[in-house]
């Protein structure tokens, strides 16, 4: 089996590449990435075929997809705040980019496509836990672009018979996740600040909750989806129903580090949702064997990677 990972030099993509390369059924892993948010260093030592370029380039996609069996589409311009600052860039990368990937998958003979959407699509809908069939209410351009991502997958399944699986990622964290920039996700931002002895910046009162998912768990689910060609045209939450406040996350990180950390509170950020928690019934029905890595273990492995 030959598998393409768009955005494969990014945090989740590079972790997935490692998982796929461990599978005897996988003959080759191809990566296409424009390195706008990813890094070739994430793929160091891995036997992957790397193609630098944009998913908005149809000719490049045709080259990379030729002879492949499956695509895991992770390429995106992440971050709610980034999309608030530049909504057009988010739309091009996430919505138009997905359309180009699906068109290329059709031209290549109908490749299997699993792709990443986001829990941000639930947005202003305050009901918990988040069930896939509930009303979506995007609060940011990023969320809108991700809703388009999954809607395009569903449409291509119904119109063209493409085998697809749209996943709604929640708060994925773990090794290779970048920090040190204004759009960093909360776990790497907290870990880097704590290890550097700086205060942790919390936007809001710290009571906001998230369903954190370790990247190793996400990679195993994506790998299993590709190997078994799991098809589901409607979105699937890829999280496990945990609900951790940022205040609780800080306390868990203090426990892992064995020392207290300082916290600075700032104003809430536009577009951020207050609470997020997945209903995982659909995920469990499709992937009954999956066992998520607990938050504590995931934090320990993340801290270890940052220290190394």
List, for residues 54-83, the tens digit of each pLDDT value: 999 999 999 999 999 999 999 999 999 999
pLDDT averaged over every residue in the chain: 97
pLDDT score recorded for residue 272: 87
Residue 136 contacts by C-beta under 8 Å, 6 or more apart in sequence? Answer: 121, 122, 123, 125, 147
Q: Where are the domains of the chain?
A: 2-174+213-241+278-293
Whole-angstrom distance, CA of residue 207 vs CA of residue 204: 8
Q: Is residue 73 within 8 Å of residue 61, measured between CB atoms?
A: no
Residue entry with tokens 């009571």: 207
Enter the pTM of the model.
Answer: 0.96
List, for residues 288-302, the tens digit of each pLDDT value: 999 999 999 999 999
pLDDT score recorded for residue 85: 96
Give the tokens for residue 46: 């891995």
Q: Is residue 117 within 8 Å of residue 55, measured between CB atoms?
A: no
Percent of the chain with pLDDT over 90: 96
| Confidence grade of residue 21 (pLDDT, cut at 50, 70, 90) | very high
Fold observed for domain 2-174+213-241+278-293? Rossmann fold (3.40.50)
Percent of the chain with pLDDT over 70: 100
Spacing of C-alpha 120 from chain mean position? 11
Spacing of C-alpha 106 from chain mean position? 24
pLDDT score recorded for residue 176: 97
| Confidence grade of residue 133 (pLDDT, cut at 50, 70, 90) | very high
List, for residues 192-213, the tens digit of each pLDDT value: 999 999 999 999 999 999 999 9
pLDDT score recorded for residue 182: 72
Whole-angstrom distance, CA of residue 174 vs CA of residue 157: 32
């Amino acid at each position: 089996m030959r598998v393409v990972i768009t955005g494969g030099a990014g945090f989740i993509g590079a972790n997935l590449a490692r998982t796929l390369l461990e599978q005897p059924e996988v003959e080759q892993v191809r990566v296409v990435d424009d390195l706008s948010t990813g890094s070739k260093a994430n793929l160091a030592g891995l036997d992957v075929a790397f193609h630098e370029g944009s998913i908005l380039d149809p000719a490049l996609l045709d080259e990379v997809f030729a002879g492949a069996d499956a695509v895991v589409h992770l390429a995106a311009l992440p971050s709610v705040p980034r999309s608030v600052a530049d909504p057009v860039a988010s739309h091009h990368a996430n919505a138009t980019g997905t359309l180009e990937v699906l068109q290329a998958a059709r031209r290549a003979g109908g490749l299997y496509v699993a792709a990443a959407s986001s829990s941000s699509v639930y947005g202003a809908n305050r009901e918990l836990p988040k069930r896939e069939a509930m009303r979506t209410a995007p609060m940011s351009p990023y969320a809108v672009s991700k809703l388009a991502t999954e809607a395009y997958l569903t449409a291509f399944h119904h119109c063209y018979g493409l085998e697809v699986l749209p996943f709604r990622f929640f708060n994925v964290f773990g090794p290779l996740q970048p920090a040190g920039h204004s759009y960093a996700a909360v776990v790497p931002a907290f870990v880097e600040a704590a290890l550097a002895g700086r205060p942790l910046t919390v936007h809001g009162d710290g009571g906001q909750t998230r369903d954190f998912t370790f990247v190793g768990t996400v990679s195993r689910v994506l790998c299993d989806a590709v190997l078994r060609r799991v098809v589901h045209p409607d979105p699937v939450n890829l999280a496990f129903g945990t609900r951790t406040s940022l205040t609780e996350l800080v306390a868990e990180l203090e426990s892992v580090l064995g020392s207290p950390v300082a916290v600075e509170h700032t104003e809430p950020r536009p577009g951020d949702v207050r609470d997020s928690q997945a209903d995982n019934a659909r995920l469990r029905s499709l992937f009954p064997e999956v066992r998520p890595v607990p938050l504590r273990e995931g934090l320990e492995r993340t801290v270890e990677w940052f220290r190394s």
